[in-house]
Amino acid sequence: MPVVRHDWSLSEVRALYDLPLLELVYKAQTVHREVFQDNKVQLCSLLSVKTGGCPEDCAYCPQAARYQTGVKAERLMPVDEVIENATKAKEAGATRFCMGAAWREVKDGPQFDQVLDMVRGVKALGLEACCTLGMLSEDQAKRLKEAGLSAYNHNLDTSPEFYGKIITTRVYEDRLATLRAVRQAGITVCSGGIIGMGESIDDRCRMLITLASQEVHPESVPINALVQVEGTPLAGHVKKVEAMEMVRLIAVARILMPHAMVRLSAGRLQMTEEAQLLCMMAGANSIFFGDKLLTTGNPQYEADMALLEKAGVERLRPGEQA
């Protein structure tokens, strides 16, 4: 088994990132196969249960109320509608169901109770249940755990150094505190980030180093390429992410966090099929499927299934470990 380290230095990680691409992919694939012998890919489904109207100022996000992006603010979705979506996702092959809310933080009260009901319902279907609801207190994390939540997604998004350039309405330490609350409650941690926001390669490396420096590595690390949405401050002002950059970062994430599920998340719509397969070679073992992410597009379901079929990529089945 690969050694699990928590003390990666920037120079070490940068040296990995800068390796000749095929060398890097080979290294990552070697680590990957030691841990995930079956080499299967997990299909995850994503649902926005509370869309838009968010008070935060995340410069990438179409759901921030302050940007004119055409995303309409909606109310929290009724529980039965969520369960209906989860049932369909399960039938389509999902083994994990992630519910996202455009909130700065969770507030106790009827809305949180409603989310707890969603979690119970999704778990009852035999799916892994994941939520991403913003900041969380220790007590709220405990209640989510009691409801059966499998994982909580809370992205660091970028390096501590670059964070202030993207978000000013909260600080990096707030994110880390939520991750600690999640860990303490016994919920698995899903945390990753976005590339293509104008950050440097070193920033990308420092983000992964921060994730890997936690006492227990996140069980799940989503890597997103920025989806540029008109009306957000970043749209039109940053260079488009090249597929090779995704491949490199995924490979480095795989090497730093050998046991994590590394998720090729937002940005697949802009990638060729070959590039997506290269990401899987580099250690990505999960994708979000379905025609929509939270508010932006994702490849068509049929196209994804055809790709997996063509390439002979095996999917994780319900109850199966990766």
Active site residue 54: yes
Instruction: Assess contact for 264 and 250: CB atoms under 8 A.
Output: yes
Q: Which residue in 24, 31, 56, 152 binds ligand SF4 (CB under 6 A)?
A: 56
Mapped onto helix, strand or coil, the DSSP state of residue 180 is helix
Q: Is residue 266 near ligand SAM by the rule CB under 6 A?
A: yes
112 C-beta neighbours (distance < 10 Å), count: 18
With contacts defined by CB under 6 A, name the span among 2-10, 53-61, 210-218, 237-245 that binds ligand SF4.
53-61
Q: Which of 130, 131, 205, 279 is catalytic?
A: 130
Distance between CA atoms of residues 255 and 8, nearest Å: 11
- Identify whether 205 is a catalytic site residue: no
Pick what 64 binds: ligand SAM, ligand DTB, ligand SF4, none; C-beta below 5 to 8 Å, kind-dependent: ligand SF4
Residue 115, interface with ligand SF4 (CB under 6 A)?
no
- Which of these, 11, 27, 1, lies nearest to 253 by C-alpha position? 27
- Which residue among 128, 157, 199, 304 contacts ligand SAM (CB under 6 A)? 157
- Nearest residue to 60 (alpha-carbon basis) of 182, 178, 166: 166
Q: Least distance in Å: CB of 102 to ligand SAM?
A: 5
Q: Quick count: other Cβ atoms within 10 Å of Cβ 198?
A: 15
Rounded distance, CA 15 to CA 116, Å? Answer: 44
Q: How far apart are CA 285 and CA 233, in angstroms?
A: 31
CB of 93 to ligand SAM, least distance (A): 23
- Give catalytic residue positions: 54, 58, 61, 98, 130, 190, 263
Q: Which residues bind ligand SAM (CB under 6 A)?
A: 60-63, 100, 102-103, 132, 134, 154-155, 157, 194, 224, 226-227, 229, 266, 294
